[in-house]
Amino acid sequence: MSIASNGIKGRHSKKRRTRHKPHAATPRPASSTPAASAASPAEANLPLLRIIIADSEAIFRVGMSKIFAQWQDLQVVAQTETLPQTLTAISTIPADVILFELGLSPSPADAISEVAARAIPGAKLVVVTSRAGEQETVDYLRRGVRGILARSVSPDLLVRCVRKVAAGETWLDKQAVNWVIEAYRTQTLQGIAPPQQLRLSDKEMMIISGVTQGMKNKEIARQVGTTEQVVKNYLRKIYDKLHVVDRLELALYSMHHRLLEGHGVPSGEAAEANAFAQGDGAGSDSPPAAGDAAPSPPQAAAASASGKNGKNGPA
């Protein structure tokens, strides 16, 4: 009896050992993945990074969430599937990185500007897109984007991107880096703001020339053949185009960028003829009164160039 019972006990003990072995090995599959193996004591020292995922497709939101869930220092604090939801989340939930899919808006550039403006300070914007060309890439960066990710990004690059951007770096692929460098070179060589900001009409150039010569609005109006109020209106438009705030900055900008090379200020009848021949939107212009005469070049050169505007208002 004792031998049989010992034999039975031996068989039972073997069964218990075989049951325990797979149970003890269960943590191994998780730790064998690259992400989980990296979740070491060193990872515990990393700062917690809060992430908002804004994507129109649930499969991508779920996929990215599962990737981040494997890391102790990465926490998804919100998920959104529409632009209004995203704007609400980024303005109320603190985050370190916002992953924003451009398909959430039919106007990606405008959406980027709105997200950058509405986000809680400190949040860094990374856009996710299937394709971004040269012009789009440069424009997105100018609007505040800190990283651009392809839809097909691998999990390890996704994690690296989030950490790098959160640390203050910019995440771009090699092609995008080349585009940005070329855009910088082109702008530096031109020594000007983006080309679309310098589409100035001949009448605007005449007004700028008058400002740089220290002429008052009344004198410029007489020179161009219009009214003081029209000159003021033109000046405000010019300020917006060139991103300057007053006459002094306009004069400095003009001289620094050699804006008036090849553009002189016509005098007398030539100024009137050129102004009315352009017809560039100042339809309310009226001919100068009889006897009015534009100041001669020596008189204009002697006018004050201090940027004061007398009684002509803020422009």
Ranges of H-type helices in 129-201: 134-142, 155-166, 174-190
In 13-123, where do the E strands start and end? Answer: 49-54, 74-80, 97-101
126 within 8 A of 149, measured Cβ to Cβ: yes
Task: Give the predicted TM-score (pTM) of the model.
Answer: 0.50
Helix (H) or strand (E) holding 127: strand 124-129
Q: For residue 88, what pLDDT band results from cuts at 50, 70 and 90?
A: very high
pLDDT at 27: 34
Helix (H, G, I), strand (E, B) or coil at 218: helix
Q: For residue 198, what pLDDT band results from cuts at 50, 70 and 90?
A: low
Among the listed residues 229, 231, 227, the one whose alpha carbon sits nearest the alpha carbon of residue 203: 231
Inform me whether the pLDDT recorded for 191 exceeds 80.
no
Inform me whether the pLDDT recorded for 225 exceeds 70.
yes
Parallel/antiparallel/unpaired status of strands 145-150 and 74-80: unpaired
Q: For residue 312, what pLDDT band results from cuts at 50, 70 and 90?
A: very low
Tokens 């992430």, located at residue: 51
**How far is 159 from 162, CA to CA, in rounded Å?**
5
Higher pLDDT, 77 or 2: 77
pLDDT at 145: 94
**Helices 174-190 and 134-142 meet at what angle, rounded to 10?**
70
Torsion of CA 88, 89, 94, 99, to 10 degrees: -130
pLDDT at 253: 80
Higher pLDDT, 166 or 183: 166
Domains of the chain: residue spans and CATH? 37-188 (3.40.50.2300), 196-302 (1.10.10.10)
At 106-149, the pLDDT tens digits run: 999 999 999 999 999 999 999 999 888 888 998 998 889 999 99
Helix (H) or strand (E) holding 88: helix 83-92
**Helices 217-224 and 228-242 meet at what angle, rounded to 10?**
100
> What are residue 97's DSSP bridge partners?
51, 124
**How far is 244 from 251, CA to CA, in rounded Å?**
10
Helix (H) or strand (E) holding 149: strand 145-150
Tokens 């100042």, located at residue: 282
The sheet carrying 97-101 orders its strands as: 74-80, 49-54, 97-101, 124-129, 145-150
